[in-house]
């Protein structure tokens, strides 16, 4: 017979020792507990000129996504919401090359303020996490974060978004001619099932066009030592198994954008041509 472990809920707002600073430190030690994907801490107590300090700034491990995180013990209130949005706005204006999202954390997000946050969502990218703390056996503390408001996607998708156009030489300087040759090999693979596919060189990624129209079933991000491709496909066990048995450098799946992310080097296309062709063709059909 299995023993049941008792969890005793803790009110952090009234706790004599566990405070907001303690919560901040626990998230900093392991940002994955927020379940925002593969992120790292960029800064803590980040000074906002004329507006206080941002509790935590998180960033995707290998991406351009940043999260401005504000923590409050007890119930959320007007000032907490306004402060979160203000810090998000300051950061997005200061660093426009990143994709920013506000994250509000509180022990109690009442129905009143839940409605307010949902009103902002769709105009401001915002996630609300309700935090619960529990004492378990041996006086250990557990923190649980439940997403009560998820971000509504703003603006246009990659293939519709207006991007600053560059040329091939821009990416050769950002990355290298050798990495761009890998992109050329990949283009030849795609042209096997659609000869009209071409690259469009944008400032932040290389996209796909077909007959002059954006068609980003895959986007490419050339790096110094590899070519990162992001293939838009729904996650499936079949694809997962094929990627796991390959020798490809597979990154964490981007569930928000529904993209498989893979790092390619010069030998990867030749050794995995059929698998890459299959993935790209499936994405091509699924996004047509």
| Contact call for residues 36 and 66 (beta carbons, < 8 A) | no
Euclidean distance between CA atoms 196 and 208, whole angstroms: 10
pLDDT for position 1:
59
For domain 168-286, the CATH class is alpha beta
Euclidean distance between CA atoms 42 and 159, whole angstroms: 29
Please give the chain's pLDDT, 288 residues, in tens.
567 767 788 888 888 888 899 999 999 999 999 988 889 999 998 988 777 899 999 998 877 789 999 999 998 888 898 899 999 999 988 888 788 999 999 999 888 888 888 787 778 889 999 999 888 877 788 888 998 888 765 444 544 455 688 999 999 999 999 999 999 999 999 999 999 999 999 988 999 999 888 999 999 999 999 999 999 999 888 999 999 999 899 998 887 788 999 999 988 988 899 999 999 999 999 887
pLDDT for position 163:
64
pLDDT tens digits along 154-187: 444 544 455 688 999 999 999 999 999 999 999 9
Give me 227's structure tokens: 């070519």
Mean of the per-residue pLDDT values of the chain: 87
CATH of domain 8-149: 3.40.1350.10
- ∠ CA(210), CA(216), CA(220), 5° rounding? 110
Helix (H) / strand (E) element for 206: namely strand 206-210
* pTM metric for this prediction: 0.56
| Contact call for residues 116 and 81 (beta carbons, < 8 A) | yes
pLDDT for position 51:
76
pLDDT tens digits along 38-51: 899 999 989 887 77
- Distance between start and end Cα atoms, the chain: 54
- Long-range Cβ contact pairs of 20-29 (< 8 A, separation 24 or more): 20/55, 20/71, 20/72, 20/73, 23/71, 23/73, 23/105, 23/131, 23/143, 24/55, 24/56, 24/71, 26/143, 27/56, 27/69, 27/71, 28/56
Helix (H) / strand (E) element for 281: namely helix 273-286
Q: Helices H, strands E: what count in the chain?
A: 8, 14
Domain ranges of the chain: 8-149, 168-286
Say if 8-149 and 168-286 have the same CATH topology. no
């Amino acid at each position: 017979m299995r023993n049941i472990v008792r969890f005793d809920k803790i009110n952090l707002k009234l706790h004599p020792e566990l405070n907001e600073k303690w919560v901040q430190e626990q998230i900093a030690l392991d940002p994955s507990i927020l379940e925002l994907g593969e992120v790292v801490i960029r800064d803590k107590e980040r000074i906002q000129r004329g507006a206080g300090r941002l509790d935590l700034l998180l960033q995707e491990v290998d991406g351009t996504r940043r999260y401005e995180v504000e923590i409050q013990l007890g119930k959320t209130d007007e000032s907490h919401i306004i402060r979160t949005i203000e810090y998000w706005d300051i950061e997005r204006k200061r660093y426009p090359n990143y994709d920013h999202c506000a994250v509000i954390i509180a022990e109690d997000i009442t129905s009143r303020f839940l409605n307010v946050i949902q009103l902002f969502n769709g105009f401001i990218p915002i996630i609300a996490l309700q935090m619960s703390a529990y004492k378990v056996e041996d006086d250990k503390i557990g923190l649980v974060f439940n997403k009560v408001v998820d971000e509504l996607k703003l603006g246009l998708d990659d293939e519709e978004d207006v991007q600053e156009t560059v040329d091939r030489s821009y990416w050769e300087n950002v990355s290298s001619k050798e990495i761009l040759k890998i992109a050329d090999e990949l283009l030849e693979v795609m042209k096997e099932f659609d000869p009209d596919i071409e690259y469009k060189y944008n400032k932040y990624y290389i996209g796909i066009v077909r007959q002059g129209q954006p068609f980003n079933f895959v986007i490419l991000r050339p790096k110094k030592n590899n070519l990162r491709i992001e293939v838009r496909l729904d996650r499936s066990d079949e694809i997962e198994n094929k990627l796991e048995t390959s020798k490809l450098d597979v990154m964490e799946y981007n569930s928000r954008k529904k993209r498989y992310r893979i790092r390619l080097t010069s030998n990867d296309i030749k050794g995995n041509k059929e698998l890459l062709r299959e993935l790209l063709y499936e994405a091509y059909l699924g996004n047509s």
